[in-house]
Structure 1
């Protein structure tokens, strides 16, 4: 799962070893100029995103998360949407840009108008203002000066966010108790003396920076820790008494959230039924793999055989990190200029153990100049110390190559033809996660999962994503569970047991994921929904090539897809029809 917005634009397929398109640089248009200006205005309001892109000048700042800051962003977006209607496209690339911007900006405004302030255990302000610190350089005196400044400004960011939570509550929108408790616990963990914020002073000492800068880092870290303690206290004492027990958001809000995460209007009932069918298909595939591992073995028996194999075991996070890096390097070398266009400098990917212990794996893209490479991060809960390679191989492909890294780095690289908003300012989970999930099955198709254990692991991850379609839509929209799960309206507790049966993860990871789905409605199904659309578009293009008597070029098709960036699924279909 990528951490931050990215985007791209359509262009022609590339030649081996070249930048992802062999076309000459495109002359910027009036639409490009508008998109560039809009992106700059976004960055001015979002200094953290500037850091993600490696842009200098705002290294110590945070966005204004108060109601006034949110309103300023909404006014800017309203104005942009009106100006957008007056623009005329000069070419097909402009047509896609206008389609994508209208769709994204319109949904941003619609979400703002709900009056809700998001609070969940993965993708809300308490996590994001800390995560951006991970992307900041930490080597020189200047670097640690920037870190000290941003740490000292973190309390104001959390204060503004708290004001927005209060404003949201006054409008009748209070996060569920489960989310309030989870985030309060996270805030306390960040504030511990050995928590995620404590390492910056040690880093400053190790780097040998001046005593004054060390003192500034220490003061900033202490202020940030105090701010997290205060937010935890406020959440528990002031927000929790107002928080509803019910986790479900209801079908009306779910439809809007689902549109935001997919870029398309889903038929929720049809998607729910398809999720049930897809889950059954994947379980049947796993049964076939289990028989290959040992004739007559059930899926669980086959997994026990795999887990008992010492060659598939890893102990400790260092072993996990080294294995991740080795597998990633091998995949990149094997795919480069054979199945995908992977020119330098996007042929570098770093695998990291995250400084947090929340659970989950995520990807952060390279800086705009690639001076900071793309990185895969594994946040390992403290109770998890042993790992099995067969369960995690497909995760490396999902987060790295040919998944998120190839997708995001491609869009970052093609700056000679694409405006900045198309490369960096658009993010749609259905495209980003749909591609990464498509990439998992693609690796089996390309012959990289011939080991039955690795293949079982891939199907485990596909099974998990199919189960999430059922759980997420079913619980939030109040749909009826299938007969084997009670044939009644889903409850969270019932859904948790359903997830336990289908998610091949540790108890700590299950706790995190269960809470995540309940607090981030519409996001979890976007993986499978996006994968479904990618597969449908590929099938359409294959059939068209066959009808024309031509050979379908899968590598060129993938390049064209990747150069679109992370646009909505409706815009994706629109773009591929151009």
Structure 2
């Protein structure tokens, strides 16, 4: 089975029509979602962040789930849709019922970040594009006001994010509200992107800072509306500090009930938390042993740390500055795309553009954003470089490029978008399950090792470092949030955040800024970080079970094609589709 030159076409069924209608409702409720898909219209608007907005989303989900119950699947594609929608929408209702959506605040994926982050996806090639940006800047205050209403409603119910998260978000929002912050810089540096929205801008942290200037009236409006957005974030800072912080609990651990719900949210599967914790401890030990073997290859007799020092001192593996970093990312990504296309994967031409950019923020982390539905905006890999960091090592990040690009997220996300004739709107554009998506990306890293792309011991050490980090996150995240006993040799007693920080410091070879960001992320976004490694585990389990079932007829390439053509689904749905469908 190969990916055809043209997408598969299939007549829409009643289940497809319902899924498409539900997607249109979500687009109506959330203009930012439309922006993320590259759809024109309502570019200046935000979703209603208030309790009324959450209630409208809940009502739409409940109605769709009720309608779905009356339908029967027409084919195997419908069977997967039915299974996936029942699981995802049912879980959404549980999340609404829990009340915690009213208290949505953390250092990485809450409205505090999302209200600003939507601008990263807005095109900047035309005057009309910048008019949309200006108008949306003027509406930041309304989005913030709705968000504050929800946080107040949550606080009245005793639902407030931990104090550590509130303090972290205050710091983030203060930067955006500053006179040299994101909004001020966006307006000050505004210019037409000379390359247009479809061409990489690899040499600058701001992809639109070198083009023709805007009309004077628009430039003036941008400055004024950026000031409104800055003021809005100042309002958010004041609320967080003066109203929310005094009621924020000191404890970071969320407890078993909330953690189990969050775990299901990010995996699309129910797992035995204690068994998974024990597996995570063993997996961490296994990866460390593998690193020790690779260290011996790098320099016989050296420890892991000593071998890394050898790699870090190698000028051939060093990059200075974000321009060099971006050029290296782009070259490595382009090479993988060219060599994997037609050999290990079928990659249509329309999917073969992947831009590598430096993110306009400095919070830390590397992430991927998918292409627009028509691929006019390509998939993009973003590197958010913390303040003061200007040196990078290729051995540590080669595997990250494969994770975010090909055969990782770009191949996965772009394939689902490409299959517009096979998958309905909800399957392609709404359903995203972290354990499926991030599990695939980790699976892809190991696959690149199997294919020989990490034959260099340094590059393999980098991949193992990533695997070690993800295994450590399973131990930390479950252990700290459930306050489980610390396993030997990592300490005594039960986990606390402070003991967990020392554990992370021993197992995550990242900068101090990145470590601080990750530590707060795990505490504030329970269940998400472990979904990578647990997802990889479940992906590999499903592949191995499929190989055992098919015997001599098993084809890894066909397995990958069938799996990617499903789009992102919960891991229980993936298992059903690939083993029992």
What is the TM-score when the length of structure 2 is the normalising length?
Answer: 0.95
| CA distance in structure 2 between the aligned counterparts of 1:215 and 1:492, rounded to whole angstroms | 47
Matches within 5 A, 1:61-210: 61-116=45-100, 117-201=103-187, 202-204=189-191, 206-210=211-215
Counterpart of 2:26 (choices 35, 42, 45) is 42
1:188 Cα deviation from its structure 2 partner: 0.9
Structure 1 residue 192, shift from structure 2 partner: 2.2
- The separation in 2 between residues aligned to 1:347 and 1:199, in whole angstroms, is 32
Q: Deviations over 1:17-65 (max 9, x none)?
A: 624x6xx511111111101000000110111110011111110010000
User: What is the CA–CA distance in structure 1 between the aligned matches of 2:468 and 2:491, rounded to whole Å?
Assistant: 20
2:359–2:385 CA contact under 8 A, matched in 1: yes
CA contact (8 A) 1:204 1:217 kept: no
**1:395, CA displacement in angstroms?**
0.6
Deviation string, structure 1 residues 236-276 (Cα, Å, up to 9, x no partner) = 11111111110000011000000000011110000000000
Match of 1:3 in 2: none
Q: CA deviation at 1:545?
A: 2.4
Question: Which residue does 2:268 correspond to in 1?
Answer: 263
Equivalent pair of 2:190/2:219 in contact (CA under 8 Å): no
- Spell out, residue by residue over 1:487-521, the C-alpha distance to the aligned partner (whole angstroms, 9 max, x if none): 31100000000000000100000000000000000
Shift of 1:467: 0.1
CA-CA distance at 1:315 after TM superposition: 0.9
Q: Hey, what's the Cα distance between the residues in 2 that align with 1:500 and 1:486?
A: 13
Cα separation, 2, equivalents of 1:454 and 1:110: 43
* Superimposed CA distance per residue, residues 318-376 of structure 1 (whole angstroms, 9 cap, x where no aligned partner): 11111111111111111111111111211010000001000001110000000000000
Residue 234 of structure 1 pairs with residue 213 of structure 2: no
Deviation digits for residues 194-226 of structure 1, max 9, x if unmatched? 222233322248533222211221121111111
Contact 1:195 1:356 in 2 (8 A): no
Can you give the 5+ residue segments of structure 1 that lack an aligned partner in the other structure?
1-12
Which consecutive unaligned segments of at least 5 residues does structure 2 have?
A: 193-210
- Residue 569 (structure 2) aligns with: 567
CA displacement 1:122-153 (0-9 Å, x = unmatched): 00001111111011111211111100111111
Q: Aligned to 2:351, what secondary structure does the other structure show?
A: coil
Aligned mate of 1:439, from 441, 444, 447:
444
> Could you tell me which residue of structure 2 aligns to residue 335 of structure 1?
340
Counterpart of 1:376 in 2: which secondary structure?
strand
1:565 is displaced (CA, Å) by 1.1
Counterpart of 1:323 in structure 2 is 328
Q: Which residue of 2 aligns with 1:9?
A: none
The secondary structure found in structure 1 opposite 2:373 is coil
Q: Distance in 1 between matches of 2:476 and 2:424?
A: 38
Q: Secondary structure at the match of 1:55?
A: coil
Q: 1:478, 1:280 → 2: CA distance?
A: 21
Choose from 294, 301, 310 the match for 1:296. Answer: 301
Q: Secondary structure at the match of 1:252?
A: helix
The one of 556, 559, 563 aligned to 1:557:
559
> Partner of 2:454 in structure 1?
449
1:374 equivalent in structure 2:
379
For the residue of structure 2 that corresponds to 1:297, the secondary structure is: coil
1:53 to 15, 28, 37: 37
In the other structure, the counterpart of 1:533 is 538
Q: Distance in 2 between matches of 1:337 and 1:284?
A: 35
Name the counterpart of 1:414: 419
CA distance in 2, matches of 1:355, 1:445: 35
How many residue pairs get aligned? The number is: 559
2:349 is equivalent to residue 344 of structure 1 = yes
Higher mean C-alpha displacement, 76-85 vs 505-514 = 76-85
User: Quick one: distance in 2 between partners of 1:78 and 1:92?
Assistant: 24
8 Å CA contact retained: 2:27, 2:34: yes
SS at match of 1:362: strand
Matches within 5 A, 1:497-512: 497-512=502-517
SS at match of 1:203: coil
Deviates more, 1:236-245 or 1:510-519: 236-245
Alpha-carbon contact 2:190-2:214 (below 8 Å) kept: no
> What is the TM-score normalised by the length of structure 1?
0.95
Aligned to 1:482, which of 476, 479, 487? 487
Equivalent position of 1:6 in the other structure = none
Equivalent in the alignment of 1:391: 396
1:449 Cα deviation (Å)? 0.4
Residue 16 of structure 2 is matched in structure 1 by: 32
Cα RMSD of the aligned pairs, angstroms, is 1.1
Distance 2:573 2:182 in 1: 39
CA distance in 1: counterparts of 2:175 and 2:106, whole angstroms: 15
Secondary structure of 1:377's aligned partner: strand
CA–CA separation in structure 2 for the residues paired with 1:486 and 1:435: 32
